[in-house]
Amino acid sequence: MVGVNYMLIATVLLISTTVIIPMVDAIPAVFVFGDSILDVGNNNFLPGNRSKANHPFYGVDYPGRVATGRFSNGYNGADFLSMLVGFKQSPPPFLSVTRTRVEEMVGGLNYASGGSGILDVTGENASLSLNTQIEYLEKTVKTLKKCMGSDKAARHMSKSIFILSTGNNDIFGFFEAQNGEKINSTQKDQYINLLLSTLKTQLQRMHKLGARKLVIVGSTTIGCVPAFRAVTPTGACLEDLNDLSLRYNNGTVKLLDKLISSRALKGMRYSHANVFAMLSDVISDPSSFGYAKVDTACCGGGRLNAAESCTVNATLCTNRNDYLFWDSVHPTQVAADLVATNAFNGSRRYTTPINIQELVTL
Ligand SMILES: *[C@@H]1O[C@H](CO)[C@@H](O)[C@H](O)[C@H]1NC(C)=O
Ligand SMILES: *[C@@H]1O[C@H](CO)[C@@H](O)[C@H](O)[C@H]1NC(C)=O
Ligand SMILES: *[C@@H]1O[C@H](CO)[C@@H](O)[C@H](O)[C@H]1NC(C)=O
Ligand SMILES: *[C@@H]1O[C@H](CO)[C@@H](O)[C@H](O)[C@H]1NC(C)=O
Ligand SMILES: *[C@@H]1O[C@H](CO)[C@@H](O)[C@H](O)[C@H]1NC(C)=O
């Protein structure tokens, strides 16, 4: 008996080492979708000057101190998540590549666009809507199929990681449209249901194009971003926004489970990163996570340094690593790193039903 048990343990150990190490290397590509949390420069290619991070002090901690279009002082979540699955940084912005050159897209592409949301009206005229991003994915898949053949392209897509961060800007938009009027729970549910039914169609389109390993970056503690704290008399979080964010995250997980069990997303596996729980934990006990400031923007001006934009004339904090927020709404590089690391191999408090490390080894 003892011998048998020992054999079992030895076999399990052998399997787990032989599985984990080569499979991480086998992620052929990363495809990134959504909003400014993950945008690495698509918005620089859009007309006008709204929703752009193409000027100092953006990028002050990025290699070469360049403002790339990332809404961060340095790398963002798309970079850290890509690094964790074996890449140097995020794949390039879709709008920066030559659409027909397969070598530029074989490691994946980033379609994310600051200001965008699930609904087309969110960020209209200043960003690529999620529907447009998925149309661009369709173009990419066409090119890959042409160059690799259909079977190889399908295998390539099925092993790749698809990362999506959305919902935050839709919730902002809904809240702002109320003009300070009280929002009751029926109205909240109606709006969240509209978001989820739209998202459902979008996920099905991505699945049809070959996505099988999905990372959903959940919406954040929106009510606690410095921009919203700055409009409350005490600098407290706006609870209606946090409540909407919780409802959206709960609904997303339920939707995914339902679609997968009904086989509407056959073969899809997902990892949902509970950014809301991560940031709630940091905000309730900043020092244990190494932060000194969780309510104030590092780059900006006015109340909580969040009433003015982050430009070359803004007030810039000296120790960026002490801050959770870089500008009035976006996380610092260190905060993006923390979120990505917890999404990658965090506990079930932070990722459901599995973390990214488990997702990539499937
Ligand atoms: C953005 O463009 C508008 C319209 O062209 C202009 O009025 C505004 O000054 C510009 N803002 C910046 C920060 O360049
Ligand atoms: C919520 O607000 C809407 C719009 O003002 C109203 O029609 C509805 O009766 C309210 N529902 C509840 C449950 O209070
Ligand atoms: C979301 O789900 C959690 C856990 O199931 C629950 O505690 C929480 O009340 C839910 N929140 C909302 C707003 O539905
Ligand atoms: C920064 O300040 C200078 C000097 O006052 C001014 O000319 C410039 O337009 C400002 N730039 C921005 C982006 O606000
Ligand atoms: C999680 O990943 C980080 C970054 O690669 C690493 O430093 C840490 O040791 C990992 N933790 C576990 C429990 O695997």
8-state DSSP, 331: B
> Which pLDDT score, from 0 to 100, does residue 180 have?
86
- Indicate whether 233 belongs to any domain: yes
Distance 49 CA to ligand 1 centre (A): 6
Residue 28, in any domain of the structure: yes
Q: Tell me whether residue 14 is in a domain.
A: yes
Ligand 4 close to Cβ of residue 49 (< 6 A): no
Residue 353 Cα to ligand 3 midpoint, Å, equals: 16
Best residue among 312, 315, 316, 327 to mutate for probing ligand 4, ranked by most atoms within 8 Å of CB? 312
**Ranges of the chain with pLDDT below 50:** 1-25
Q: Give pTM, 2 decimals.
A: 0.91
User: Which atom of ligand 4 is closest in space to residue 312's alpha carbon?
Assistant: 13
**Residue 101 pLDDT:** 79
Query: Within a domain: residue 147?
Result: yes
Residue 104: predicted pLDDT: 85
Give the nearest ligand 4 atom to 311 CA: 13
The domain of 209 spans: 6-360
User: Which residue is it, tokens 């499979």?
Assistant: 23
* Predicted local confidence at residue 50, as pLDDT: 87
Identify whether 295 is part of a domain.
yes
pLDDT digits (tens, 9 = 90+) for 229-251: 999 999 999 999 999 999 999 99
Confidence (pLDDT) at 119: 98
Q: Which residue, by CA, sits nearest to atom 9 of ligand 2?
A: 186
Number of domains in the chain: 1
What SS3 state is found at 144?
A: helix
Per the domain annotation, does 1 fall within a domain? no
Q: Which residues contact 362 (CB under 8 A, 6 or more apart)?
A: 213, 269
Q: Is residue 339 part of a domain?
A: yes
CA of 182 to the centre of ligand 2 (A): 10
Assess contact for 265 and 210: CB atoms under 8 A.
Answer: no
Angle at Cα 288 formed by Cα 286 and Cα 289, nearest 5°?
70
Is the distance from the beta carbon of residue 187 to the nearest atom of ligand 2 less than 6 Å? yes
Residue 289's CATH number: 3.40.50.1110
